[in-house]
Structure formats: C-alpha cells, structure tokens
A and B are shown apart, each in its own frame.
Chain A
C-alpha cells in the first residue's frame, strides 16, 4: 500500500528565504504524487503533481518539486517565501492498491509560517 510521510509538522521561514517542505513516499510501484495547499477555512488547492512525465515539476505560485526515486522523496521548494505562502501544505499519493479509483492518501501536513 502507498503512503506518504511529511517530515516536520511545522516549518518557519523568514520572508524572502528558501522554502523546503519534505515529503517521502512509500510505494512498490512508480507513484503519482501531489502537493496541495490549504489556507485557513478553505478547501485544498493543487500546487503541482508528478505523473512520471518529468522529475522536476513546476507548479503555481512559484513552487516546484523534484521526484527522486533513489531517495523516495518529493520535496516542495520555493526560492523566496512570501507572507501569502503561510498555509497548511499536504503531500499526497494516488493509491494504486484498490482498483483504479485514484483515491488520494494524504500525509499529515506541514504548517508553513512566514515571518516578516
């Protein structure tokens, strides 16, 4: 069964600093991986997804993630943090274990705090 682990439930950076949010996956087959962002009292918004086309995936709002099979990682980065990036970030994997449902399995989430 697929799973994802997000390292660090809380990450704090200064405005303008590099953002690095860590996600490691567990999968016996090549996975489909996603990053979502959730602002307070809102739904989830897709930042980017990996579906094996390219290992470096660019998303919205200046975010990108690199799929590294050797490290079973899919870390999310942004070169320069903005105050508006403060939110909850979820890494997710598409479950391949229960038919072709595409059920998403989420990590526990990482809260990003951006300090002025």
Chain B
C-alpha cells in the first residue's frame, strides 16, 4: 500500500460540534503531519508526529487536538471550531522527519464550519 488515506472526504459541522478527522498510512512511515490549506493558498503545517510523539505544534489553537494512536494512524479531534477554520485539512507522512525528506500527502478532508 503506497498511499495516505483520509476520512471523511467532506465534513460539515456546527460550532458546538465535536468531530474527528482520520488519516491512515501503511507504508511504514514514522513521521505524520497535519496541514491546513485555505482556498488559493499553500498548505500550512499544523502538527508533526515523529515516532508517535508530537514533535511540532505550530501554535495551533487548542480547539484542534491531534492524536497518534499508533504508527499508522493519525487523528485530528475538532471541538468548538470557528467559521474561519473552514479549509482543506491534509494529512501527510514521510519515512522519518528530517531535512530533505518529502511528504506523501493524502487527498484531504474538506471541512466546513457553519
């Protein structure tokens, strides 16, 4: 298996809802990432997990809570989001987190907060 999968593909949630995004890879990669991408903009890094430990949090608001249950799974728990959080959320993985390592991206979850 050489791909990163993400579910759901689309998600609409209210500002009081709690939802989760799921990401899975079976390539044996030991680093996983969450990016946020607004329309017509480049992806912005949110979190990096390296060997299932959180290694980078790019000052992301606490209403976004990442979780890495094992080396193949990455979740992003969402609570009390704002309309401005509507975006494409991309998961990525790489063999390890290091310089010169490319990220393999999933197709993304299109999130709309109403």
A-side interface residues toward B, CB under 8 Å? 32, 34, 36, 41-46, 49, 51, 90, 94-96, 98, 100-104, 106-109
Interface hits, B72-104 → A, CB 8 Å: 90, 92, 94, 97-104
> CB distance A107 to B90 under 8 Å?
no
Instruction: Given A103-B48, A104-B45, answer yes or no on A43-B100 (Cβ-Cβ < 8 Å).
Output: no
> CB distance A41 to B99 under 8 Å?
no
List B contacts of A51 (CB < 8 A): 100
> CB distance A94 to B105 under 8 Å?
no
The chain A residue sitting closest to B98, CB to CB, is A102
Q: Is the interface of A mostly helix, strand, loop or mixed?
A: loop
Query: Count of chain B residues with Cβ under 8 Å from any Cβ of A?
Result: 28
> CB distance B90 to A46 under 8 Å?
no
List B contacts of A95 (CB < 8 A): 99
Instruction: Given A41-B110, A44-B90, answer yes or no on A101-B55 (Cβ-Cβ < 8 Å).
Output: yes
The chain A residue sitting closest to B42, CB to CB, is A106
> CB distance B107 to A43 under 8 Å?
yes
Instruction: Given A43-B107, A45-B105, A101-B56, answer yes or no on A96-B42 (Cβ-Cβ < 8 Å).
Output: no
B-side interface residues toward A, CB under 8 Å? 4, 6, 31, 40-43, 45, 48, 50, 55-56, 90, 92, 94, 97-108, 110
> CB distance B107 to A102 under 8 Å?
no
In the complex, A103→B45 CA distance in Å?
8
In the complex, A45→B43 CA distance in Å?
13
> CB distance A94 to B100 under 8 Å?
yes
In the complex, A106→B100 CA distance in Å?
14
The chain A residue sitting closest to B43, CB to CB, is A106
- Residue from A49, A103, A108 in contact with B42 in the complex, judged by beta carbons closer than 8 Å: A108
> CB distance B102 to A34 under 8 Å?
yes
In the complex, A13→B110 CA distance in Å?
30
List A contacts of B101 (CB < 8 A): 94, 102
- Residue from B4, B40, B94, B104 in contact with A102 in the complex, judged by beta carbons closer than 8 Å: B94
The chain A residue sitting closest to B3, CB to CB, is A43
List B contacts of A109 (CB < 8 A): 40-42
In the complex, A93→B108 CA distance in Å?
21
How many Å from the CB of B30 to the closest CB on chain A? 12
